[in-house]
Structure 1
Amino acid sequence: MDAALVYTSVVHQRIAAPAYRFRYTVIAALFDIDRLEATAARCRAFSLNRFNLFSLHTRDHGPRDGRPWRPWIESRLAEHGIELAGGTIHLLAMPRVFGHAFNPLSAWFAYHADGGLRGVLLEVRNTFGEHHHYLLHEGGCTMTTPVRQEKDKAFHVSPFIDMDARYAFAISPARMERGATVRLAIRETQAGSPFLIATQHGRLRDFSDQTLRAALLHQPWMTLKVLPLIHWQALKIWLRGGRYHPRPAPPQKEMH
């Protein structure tokens, strides 16, 4: 498979006051970044770097300047002693629908030519037009799954969560096989106490004109609804007395 459609269940549960919980179905896709042109060639409903019912644009991810993704991500990995020897790189993200998409979280899975997972790059985007990357790795060694690592929070996302926090990640990437399951979980703590748990999981399906049309019928506003839902949840937190934290300056480093 050069790509797979993934119906994912996204759950956010804020444990700290004001507590809340929501669950949404989000239709994403897992792409082999070296085979995007082949994917576009076989699917009339999908295009690379041009408008279509579904599309993927190189300026939407990675360096966000239209550069090819592989040289960019390989250089970022090499800074940490990670070599892929031409291994595959997969991107989990929501494609554009009718030219629009907003991805709060995308994930890159980097494999060595021997098939072993060498790195997971989490790409986070906020509603202020900023983005940041968290790299999970074992210094070039093969990673066991689920990947379990922790990182200090380095990037502002929600105005109702301050920067003094730490993330614990648990991630199980999916092989590009029909029926495989991908799972991402982020547990956020403050001063060692649980604050927020966010999860996303789903099974891989065929990526074809038929399944893309079915996804569009199932959720015609699948990408347009993301930003309104983020603002709706923020409004509910504010109405329940959530403390507002001003947006700090973005981190100077592209990746942590």
Structure 2
Amino acid sequence: MSRRPARTGSSALYPCVITHVRRSPSRYTLRHRTYLWLVDLDRLPVLPRPLRPLAGFRARDHFTGRAPTIRAALDGFLDEHGIDLAGGPVLMLGHARFCGYVFNPLTVYWCYGPDGALRCVVAEVHNTYGERHAYLLHTDAAGAATVDKDFYVSPFHPVDGHYDMRLPPPGEHLRLSIRLQRPGAAPFTAAVHGTRREATVPALLRLALRHPFPTLRVSLAIRAHGIRLFLRGLPVQPRPGRTPESAS
């Protein structure tokens, strides 16, 4: 697979299926249909004014939330890890703000040098408590990397184990997967599969009608499935700094 950016500067939409599979203590599967944006951080799409509520990209939704742009925030994060892209392009995959609301369980950044070679991948994870954490990945030719888990995401998983991530750059098809491996437990797997569409106004309108309020629906789906798991008796793992009672 090529490690060079595909069609940099051209935004794309990926109607997709997001799947979560939990195998213990009982098998449970979550499937959710939505759509994601793939954008060049240096050429963020600007919609006609009447349609701007359908897609917004704001720096306050990523990393520290204090940088003037998403690109500046990413460059600041990379600088902390000794990486300088020297102005090379960055492709970002994630949800856009929809009618003023956004929730991005996972935002992925493919970071390239000026020569077009992939330098690194950043996986930015958001939890439902309003917290964020970014993982720096040096992926292999298949887009795979392993990283220790050090951020609280689900109330049903403690902060231990490691992630096996497979995040190849999207082309005509989007195929991402994350597998959480924990000591003595069956793996938890999340996957995203989608097909590329050019980010035209008609394509966006079709997807917005088919999947209305996509970011709110993702947030509500995660909470609804969490309630179902809790009612099934799955034990809640306290968030670091919280007691089990306050976590519940």
State if a TM-score over 0.5 links the two structures: yes
Question: Match for residue 104 of structure 1?
Answer: 105
Asked if 1:145 corresponds to 2:141, the answer is: yes
Taking a change above 3 Å as real, the CA distance of residues 95 and 46 of structure 1, as seen in their structure-2 partners, is farther
TM-superposed deviation, 1:167: 0.8
Question: Match for residue 20 of structure 2?
Answer: 12
Matches within 5 A, 1:158-237: 158-175=154-171, 180-191=172-183, 193-237=185-229
Distance 2:222 2:123 in 1: 19
TM-superposed deviation, 1:185: 0.8
Counterpart code for 1:202: G
SS at match of 1:201: strand
Question: Match for residue 94 of structure 1?
Answer: 95
More strand by share: 1
Question: Match for residue 244 of structure 1?
Answer: 236
Q: Which runs of 4+ in 1 moved over 3 A?
A: 42-47, 78-81
Distance 1:192 1:78 in 2: 37
> Where does the alignment leave 5 or more consecutive residues of structure 1 unmatched?
138-142, 251-256
Question: Match for residue 115 of structure 2?
Answer: 114
- State the TM-score, normalized to the length of structure 1: 0.84
Distance 2:60 2:51 in 1: 16
Taking a change above 3 Å as real, the CA distance of residues 9 and 145 of structure 1, as seen in their structure-2 partners, is farther
Aligned residues: 234
Asked if 1:85 corresponds to 2:93, the answer is: no
Distance 1:133 1:195 in 2: 21
TM-superposed deviation, 1:238: 1.1
Contact 1:107–1:123 (CA under 8 A) maintained in structure 2? yes
TM-superposed deviation, 1:106: 0.8
Matches within 5 A, 1:46-65: 47=52, 52-65=53-66
Question: Match for residue 69 of structure 1?
Answer: 70
Q: Percent identity?
A: 35
Kindly provide the CA deviation profile for residues 89-109 of structure 1, in whole angstroms up to 9, marking residues without a partner as x. Answer: 011011111111211111111
Contact 1:44–1:209 (CA under 8 A) maintained in structure 2? no
TM-superposed deviation, 1:65: 2.0
SS at match of 1:194: coil
Contact 2:62–2:73 (CA under 8 A) maintained in structure 1? no
Taking a change above 3 Å as real, the CA distance of residues 72 and 97 of structure 1, as seen in their structure-2 partners, is closer
- State the TM-score, normalized to the length of structure 2: 0.87
Taking a change above 3 Å as real, the CA distance of residues 57 and 80 of structure 1, as seen in their structure-2 partners, is closer
